[in-house]
Amino acid sequence: MEDKFVLAGREFSSRFILGSGKFDLDLINAAVEHAGAEIITLALRRVNSFNGNILDHIPQGITLLPNTSGARNAEEAVKIARLARAAGCGEFIKIEVIHDSKYLLPDNYETAKACEMLANEGFIPLPYMYPDLYAARDMVNAGAAAIMPLAAPIGSNQGLATKQFIRILIEEIDLPIIVDAGIGKPSQACEAMEMGAAAVMANTAIATAGNIVDMAKAFKHAIIAGRTAYLAGTGRVLDRASASSPLTGFIQD
């Protein structure tokens, strides 16, 4: 059976979501081609900069996922989402509500509120959040289509700093868990996929690489490797060694 990534009823072959915030637009095409990404996120505040021509910059067959970057509370996120819809970006909206200019950590409370308000307006909300189980449940109940926990502070390339908490979300939440922000190396993306993340999003790790095309390829392969390992179910074998002499070998009857 073919392994598809299903997001709000839509099927994707690739589990790599490319962020574009730190990209030269001319390089997006190359990265998309070599990373095999089918979804690209883009801040509306950047969409805004192309006078409606942004779709010309996005390769054919790519789903654009606008985000509400710049919103400081739920109300602002809703206003930005409406602007994105008016600009022709569709119903998908990645919710980013940030009230801190230093670490750019998402505000879970406002994000959950925004989720509900946007779902009520017919959007498909994909909340970027700090991996907290209760907040994730609130977002699910509010109508989220996936949960996007951060691995580490955005742009930090620190990898899966929140690994144990993302693992809990993967176990407890029935929606796709997309690991977003902080992934710095292909090995970290692979690790996230191995533990059952539905997809990984990266931007800075590729944008700041010495060779963008090669790094895009490396991420593609790492994500496929991690997904394959997850499906193969080898994780438990790696977790615990099995003793060669069984502890219960003495039992006779």
Nearest to 87 by CA among 41, 134, 50, 141: 50
Q: Does 102 bind another protein (CB under 8 A)?
A: yes
The interface mask with another protein, positions 107-146, x = CB under 8 A, is ----------------------------------------
Q: Does 70 bind another protein (CB under 8 A)?
A: yes
Contact pick of 88, 99, 120, 234 for another protein (by CB under 8 A): 99
CA distance 111 to 95: 7
Among 94, 113, 217, 220, the active-site one is 94
Please answer whether residues 25 and 32 qualify as being in contact, where contact means their C-beta atoms are separated by less than 8 angstroms: no
CA distance 205 to 21: 12
Tell the smallest beta-carbon distance from residue 27 to another protein (Å). Answer: 8
Number of residues that bind another protein (CB under 8 A): 33
Place of tokens 């190359």: 30
Contact pick of 38, 203, 217, 219 for another protein (by CB under 8 A): 203
**At a CB cut-off of 8 Å and minimum separation 6, what does 22 contact?**
155, 203, 204, 207, 208
Task: Tell me, yes or no, if 4 is annotated catalytic.
Answer: no
Residue 215's CB: how many other CB atoms inside 10 A?
A: 21
Contact pick of 39, 40, 64, 71 for another protein (by CB under 8 A): 71
Please answer whether residues 81 and 67 qualify as being in contact, where contact means their C-beta atoms are separated by less than 8 angstroms: no
Q: How far is CA 64 from the centre of its chain?
A: 13
Q: Does 162 bind another protein (CB under 8 A)?
A: no
Query: Stretches 21-29, 116-124, 132-140, 169-177: which one binds another protein (CB under 8 A)?
Result: 21-29
Task: Find the angle CA(132)-CA(23)-CA(146) to the nearest 5 degrees.
Answer: 30
Q: Does 97 bind another protein (CB under 8 A)?
A: no
- Size (the chain), residues: 253
Which one, 168 or 213, has the nearer CB to another protein?
A: 213
Binding residues for another protein, rule: CB under 8 A, are: 21-26, 43-46, 48-49, 70-72, 76, 79-80, 83, 98-104, 155-157, 203-204, 207-208
Catalytic residues: 94
